[in-house]
Amino acid sequence: MNAPQFTISPRVRVQIFEQETLLLDLESGQYLRLNQTGQDVWRLLEQGMSVPEIHQALIHAYDVHATLLDQDIKILIDDLVARRLIVPVV
């Protein structure tokens, strides 16, 4: 089975600031604010990385337990999918 991978929806516009990223859903008009960790996940999603690749990249960047990092990535990915800001690659 392939590792979960996602692509950015065409309905989202991104504004990156120094400490946060704002995502604008063009269809709903709603904004989503990402913190630094969320910003890093978003950047890696934009690069086409799979979820396990994102985990590997971030585990070296943050001093955090692997299980906690997995949970945080899953929560963010699930939220982005629910909002239709990213879509699974099939």
Residue % of the chain over a pLDDT of 70: 99
What fold does the segment set 6-85 form as a domain?
Outer Surface Protein A; domain 3 (3.90.930)
**Neighbouring residues of 56: CB distance < 8 A, sequence distance ≥ 6:** none
pLDDT (mean) for 44-56:
94
Rounded Cα distance, 12 and 30, in Å = 10
Q: What angle do CA 23, 74, 5 make, to 5 degrees?
A: 75
Contact 39, 20 (CB under 8 A): yes
- pLDDT at 42 > cutoff 90: yes
- pLDDT at 2 > cutoff 80: no
Could you report the per-residue pLDDT of 25-36, keeping only the tens digit for each? 999 999 999 988
Buried (b) or exposed (e) across 10-44, using 16+ Cβ within 10 A?
A: eebeeeeeeeebebbbeeeeeebebeebbbbbbbb
pLDDT (mean) for 31-48:
93
Domain boundaries, the chain: 6-85
